[in-house]
Amino acid sequence: MSPKIDPKDVRVVAQWLRSEIRVPFVVVGGSAIQLEVPVATKDVDILVSGTDLARVDSAMEGRADAHPLDPATGTLRGTRLSKGRSSIDVDFLSAGPFGGDDFLHYVRGPGSRIHEGTRRARPEVVFYMRLSLDDWRENVPSIERDLRGGVPESTLDRAVAVAHRFGRSQRIRERVDAVRKILQRLDSTRE
């Protein structure tokens, strides 16, 4: 596992993306949640369009500061960026599984805010993304970590509101209810 991402690592990645890779992006995942509460995340998650993911892939060829994207195909692709003494894991996520271009447009607007010159998704957008995936249960520990760290529980309901924009509110509501039950069970076993 990589070391914890420091907020300065997010700035390094954002600057690299703007100056070297030159694709529009939004920081998502734990690196976006760090604006709300201090969380330990192991990588910087970057949301791009499907077209821009292909551009990122092309831009990685022959670079000394980052490995080619891995795996070779798919909607989640990773690399390791080397800048100075830092080695930062970066995951690129295509907007496709979350609602495509409509979702990306939303996240680049009201679904994010600008911090230090970089767009970062709001917590409800991050929770929506985590709950949208087929393997959403794997993201429950991250949601639990964020809630225990101080992200308000109402963020789960706001994730359902985000899902409603993209016609997915029933599925996300069911998953939010399941997350709440899982967290209640964990709380009862800790008492």
Q: What is the CATH number of the domain that holds 138?
A: 3.30.460.10
Is 145 in contact with 100 (CB distance < 8 Å)? no
Please report whether residue 1 resides in a domain. Answer: no
Mean pLDDT of 67-80: 84
% of the chain exceeding 70 in pLDDT: 98
More confident residue, 138 or 62: 138
Nearest 5°: phi and psi at 51?
-65, -45
Assigned domain for 132 exists: yes
DSSP structure class, residue 21:
I
Confidence of residue 92 (pLDDT cuts 50, 70, 90): very high
- Mapped onto helix, strand or coil, the DSSP state of residue 92 is strand
> Could you read off the pLDDT of 142-166 as tens digits, one per residue?
999 999 999 999 999 999 999 999 9
Residues for the chain: how many in total? 191
pLDDT at residue 1, rounded to an integer: 41
60: pLDDT strictly greater than 90: no
Cα separation, 168 vs 70, whole angstroms: 29
Residue 105 pLDDT: 96
Cα–Cα distance measured from residue 106 to residue 162, given in angstroms and rounded to the nearest whole number:
9
DSSP state of 71: S
Number of domains in the chain: 1
- Does residue 2 lie in a domain region? no
Q: Examine the pLDDT at 72 and tell me if it is beyond 80.
A: no
**Is residue 76 situated within a structural domain?**
yes
Please check the confidence at residue 189 and state whether its pLDDT lies above 70.
yes
Query: Average pLDDT, whole number, for the chain?
Result: 92
pLDDT at 171 over 80: yes
Assigned token pair, 62: 């022959």
Band of pLDDT at residue 123, cut at 50, 70 and 90: very high
Domain contains 27: yes
For 145-154, the CB contacts below 8 A with 24+ separation are 145/39, 145/40, 146/30, 146/33, 146/36, 146/37, 146/39, 147/183, 149/33, 149/37, 149/38, 149/39, 150/36, 150/37, 151/33, 151/36, 151/37, 151/123
Boundaries of domain holding 62: 7-190
pLDDT at residue 124 is higher than 80: yes
* Inside any domain, residue 153: yes
